[in-house]
Structure 1
């Protein structure tokens, strides 16, 4: 049984009163882990433990997912950032390391740009700045995710997340394919939030040391976005994982985990 299943859910309240479930494990400097679109804390199952030698990890269920409230919306990445800060406030965490992947990386951008005093070090994985400057996925990818056959759409997402070689040795289940219990309005809200993200103008205000990670075969969020972020965020560093797709953090777990740990510890 994963550690996350043995931990009781505790909760904070968002600014609008929405219940926000969060999970805290380990000890050490706080590390806030932010999941991808339409996912809850299970996104980090089996990975978060890699940081527990030096960090206590904090995850949360975005509004609309997991054990959190499911208001009608509208949703936005700015709102998700405010929700994350409400969780840190509830825990009494004044300053945390923040690691966001996919939509979680978009949320992390707002936290680091608007509340720089709350972020010690920042890691942005498989994400983009959003808006007109971002490099968007191609039309074939978009079509593959909205097929009439749900099984075909799910398989398309699996193939975008992982390479065939990795899938051959890892038959699942996979915890990065979305929260299956989300109501339709929340799923739509997450899609609108992610698609509406545009942090281009605030990225130069990020003052925390920043590490940008990406897989070079990522078609869900094309890897050129890593270069865009690195050029926009002062003194950002970039690492690209060769032969990896969107879920580089799982497929390249040992390399990526060690790299992030070293960065958070100030070793490079």
Structure 2
């Protein structure tokens, strides 16, 4: 699969699947496009699906830079330019939703329908504490402790109870593929600085805000706030699924997002 050489010489891994109107699938803090693996075949039946590994993650350059949501958004904008995509729909999960907000505000002609999944507009004290703790797990406990702790932050208890044996091979893969800790710590610092709450009223893209009631990483009140502040946004919640509800409740996630994306 191809790479894009960014303006500063770093490389961005990306994939393109299917045909139809362009649809960007943008992953969260982990940054790896494979987050969307289960969904790509379905979305690709109706859309040209574009996904990428954020800089510093996966098969993109392991850059030790000062990460920010603005920088991540600019990387994605360069990918749009490279692929000669004038305007695309976007599904952004968590940090990917922060990227989606940024592009919808700063490049409004480039973003069509926007799905904001388990995301936030500005860090509050709860969010800061949670990510400070996650950063301390990584810096003091190491990569293995960080990856093993992810399940508690990302999945509902019943999922871990029932699926732990199936999760263990994926954890081993995640540990072996994990970027240098300083890259992830810089990414955490970058998302904690993100704050576009006061700008949300300027978003003109049609927006679906979707969350899970039992998400402890980006609690439901973040989605409720986005729904209030973005003009004419639709807001809906799944009762369960945790922060990774697109994986836990994949069929429901696709049902709701496809209905929004394909409705005229």
TM-score when scaled to structure 1?
0.87
Q: Unaligned regions of 5+ residues in structure 1, if any? A: 1-7
Which residue of structure 2 aligns with residue 160 of structure 1?
153
Q: Is the 8 A contact 1:14 1:82 kept in 2?
A: no
Match of 1:31 among 8, 23, 26: 23
Count of aligned pairs between the two proteins = 257
Equivalents in 2 of 1:57, 1:201: separation in Å?
Answer: 31
Q: Equivalences for 1:202-241 in 2 at 5 Å?
A: 202-241=199-238
Residues 58 and 177, structure 2, Cα contact 8 Å, conserved in 1 = no
Deviations 1:229-265 (A, max 9, x none): 1111111111111022100111111011011011000
- Identify the structure with the greater helix proportion: 2
Q: 1:144 to 1:185 in 2, by over 3 A?
A: closer
Does the CA-based 8 Å contact 1:64-1:182 persist in structure 2?
A: yes
Contact 2:127 2:218 in 1 (8 A): yes
Contact 2:90 2:113 in 1 (8 A): yes
Residue 192 to residue 138, structure 1, CA distance change in 2 (3 Å): closer
TM-score, normalising length: structure 2:
0.88
Deviations 1:55-84 (A, max 9, x none): 121111111112222332111101111110
- SS of 2:198's partner is coil
- Residue 53 in structure 1 maps to residue 45 in structure 2: yes
Once residues 110 and 22 of structure 2 are traced to their aligned partners in structure 1, the CA distance between those partners, rounded to angstroms, is 11
Q: How does 1:12-91 map to 2 (within 5 A)?
A: 12-91=4-83
Cα distance in structure 2, aligned partners of 1:65 and 1:169: 26
In structure 2, list runs of 5 or more residues that go unmatched: none
Taking the aligned partners of 1:185 and 1:138, their CA distance within structure 2 comes to: 18
Q: CA deviation at 1:206?
A: 1.1
